[in-house]
Amino acid sequence: MYEGEFISQPSTGIFERPFQIFTINLAGRFSYVSCIFADPFDGSTPLSAVLHAVKELFNAGCYEVSLGDTLGVGTAPQVRGLIEYLNAHGIHSNKLAGHSHDTYGQRLTNAWQAYHCGIRTFDSSVGGLGGCPFAPGAKGNVATEDIVYLFQNAGIETGVDLDKFVGVGIWISQQLSKPNVSRAGVALWSKFQKSAATQSVAAEPSSDRKTSSLVHWSLVQKQSFCASCGPEQMSTSSLTTHYRATS
């Protein structure tokens, strides 16, 4: 850890103060290296700079380091090249995680490539929310719904209830007045709505079916509030969704 006025070295993610360096104990911590392929200040990031930053974090006690493509400019061959480079220099994939933004639409291919290179931990955000304050134009993280859909359909257990995340993604996007950029989330939500509407029509008495076209489905969210922390501290695990038919 460095004290006082910092000199930023964006390519390495290391911050230095001339003449005085202090060490921080990161034992038991999870950490990140940002801009692994490029940054907005220096351009392309050398592989050796990423290796240096990763080693420093492990030497400080971190148990896992996430490789962050902050600008979202990386491609699958670059992902493979970087991980193989780190492996060749003693950094094992089981101590690494993946963090990818989707600026150039490479989020899923990069995650899939990282998985095949041995990485088993990935950052994601529901509805593909996110961005980066110091990287103008950077899009959100890989959508949770998309990456879970990919892995589950590949026969890889994730422990995630995809249907519930689809509902959360729709809800939070509405609350923030932002488009839901999860392709899987939007497609599955549309499928759920059609299925629910079909079941509703089938359950109606035949004499009432002529009015079925007037039935509309809307998302209703139930919020569980913690008395001690209030709604501001509410986690996504406390959100449930269901359908309600209104005429």
The residues spanned by each domain of the chain are 1-142, 160-247
Helices (H), the chain: 47-59, 76-88, 107-116, 144-153, 162-176, 183-203
pLDDT in tens, 52-72: 999 999 998 999 999 999 999
Tokens 């950029």 correspond to what residue? Answer: 181
pTM as predicted:
0.70
CATH homologous superfamily of 1-142:
Aldolase class I (3.20.20.70)
pLDDT at 131: 80
Q: What is the mean pLDDT of residues 4-31?
A: 51
C-alpha angle 116-119-125 in degrees, rounded to nearest 5: 110
Residue 208: pLDDT band (50, 70, 90) is: low
- Percent of the chain having pLDDT more than 90? 54
pLDDT at 11: 40
Helices (H), 133-247: 144-153, 162-176, 183-203
Q: Which amino acid is at 46?
A: P
pLDDT at 206: 56
Using CA atoms in the order 51, 56, 57, 60, what is the torsion angle rounded to 10 degrees? 160
pLDDT in tens, 74-99: 999 999 999 999 999 999 999 999 99
pLDDT top residue among 56 and 8: 56
Residues serving a catalytic function are: 132
DSSP state of 231: G
Q: What is the mean pLDDT of residues 38-65?
A: 92
List the structure tokens of 189.
């939500």
